[in-house]
Structure 1
Amino acid sequence: MAKEQPAVNKKLVELATFLVGDALCGMDILKIQEINKLIDMTTVPQAPNYVLGILNLRGQIITSIDLSKKLGLGVTNLSDDPRNIIVNSKGEHIGLLVKKISDVVQADTDKFEPPPANMGGIQGDYFTGVYKTVDKLIGILDVEKVLRLDERK
């Protein structure tokens, strides 16, 4: 008779971390298609103010949004060498413009804590939780909530 393997309680996830303004945020690395430097965009008339425009990524049209502006943290300075994090949401590719890419952090999802209502000026409802490392606090971004249009409008 075969022995059963002991259950592993730890649920590990690799978080890609990045700076939005001065806030350290992260998301599951598996949600990211790629990270690039593309900032040559075509503006979209009458788009929400956080939509920077659209760009052509190897024949695919990508809508790029300024994550800082969407989260209420000012504007990402295009001269600071920002990056676009390309994610796939509901069949559409979206670029999230961030100030800087940081490390990949291996995180135990059992240690995620609920997000505070207001994380340093950021709308807490855009986050599923926070993860504490030895020296950092990472806000776990809920990409689907960020990309949802504001129903209040």
Structure 2
Amino acid sequence: MQKRSEKNVPETGMLELATFYIGDALCGIDILNIQEINKQTEVTTVPQAAEYVQGVLNLRGRIVTIIDLGTKLGLSSIEPSKDNRTIIVDFQDEQVGLLVDSISDVLVAEASRIEPPPSNIGGMQGKFFHGVFKTEKKLIGLLDINAVLED
């Protein structure tokens, strides 16, 4: 078993990242944190919920809160399109859906090449990220699920 640092990044070895877009920003999540990825389905709005809570949906008998990741990260809200996807993650024994603009590739990142996040990543606050990974053409912000969902 790989030893993980406090920010959930393996200290050695490889990390599989599911990458996705929020506007023009490319982000990634450790694939081990993802339960499933769904097309956007009908969501029931929740009165007086935080502005980033899009609503809830019934996923095979479980109620899943859907978070507009664009709004949560301080960007514009996710515009409805056929490319939208909901990334279902487990957080504190609950399933939460992260609404994103579109899904990109699954990449394998060498843990030693993950760098600390800058204070600002493409307009997003660095506190929501535990690192960045540079490919030849892109910079991928590695989303810290706990920081995004804690409040």
Report the TM-score when normalising by structure 2: 0.90
* Contact 1:80 1:99 survives alignment (8 Å): no
Could you tell me which residue of structure 2 aligns to residue 76 of structure 1?
78
Percent identity (aligned): 57
Give the letter for the 2:80 counterpart. L
Residues 18-57 of structure 1: pairs in structure 2 closer than 5 A:
18-57=20-59
| CA distance, structure 2, for counterparts of residue 120 and residue 91 of structure 1 | 31
Number of residue-to-residue matches in the alignment: 141
CA distance in structure 2 between the aligned counterparts of 1:66 and 1:131, rounded to whole angstroms: 23
Look at both structures and tell me which one has the larger radius of gyration over its CA atoms: 1
1:121 counterpart (120, 123, 126): 123
Within 2, Cα distance between the matches of 1:88 and 1:10?
24
Q: Which residue of 2 aligns with 1:130?
A: 132
Q: Which residue of 2 aligns with 1:110?
A: 112
Report the Cα offset of residue 80 of structure 1: 4.3
* TM-score w.r.t. length of structure 1: 0.89
Partner residue in 1 for 2:99:
97
State the 4+ residue runs in structure 1 displaced beyond 3 angstroms: none
Specify the code of the residue in structure 2 equivalent to 1:118: N
User: Which letter maps to 2:53?
Assistant: V
Give 2:16's match in structure 1, choosing from 3, 6, 14.
14
Q: Distance in 1 between matches of 2:44 and 2:89?
A: 19
Q: Which residue identity does 2:18 align to in structure 1?
A: A
Corresponding residue of 1:4? none
Q: Structure 1: which 5+ residue stretches go unaligned?
A: 1-8
Deviation at 1:120, TM superposition (A): 1.7
Q: Which runs of 5+ in 2 are unaligned?
A: 1-10
In 2, Cα distance between equivalents of 1:123 and 1:85: 20
CA distance in structure 2 between the aligned counterparts of 1:80 and 1:49, rounded to whole angstroms = 22
Q: CA deviation at 1:21?
A: 1.4
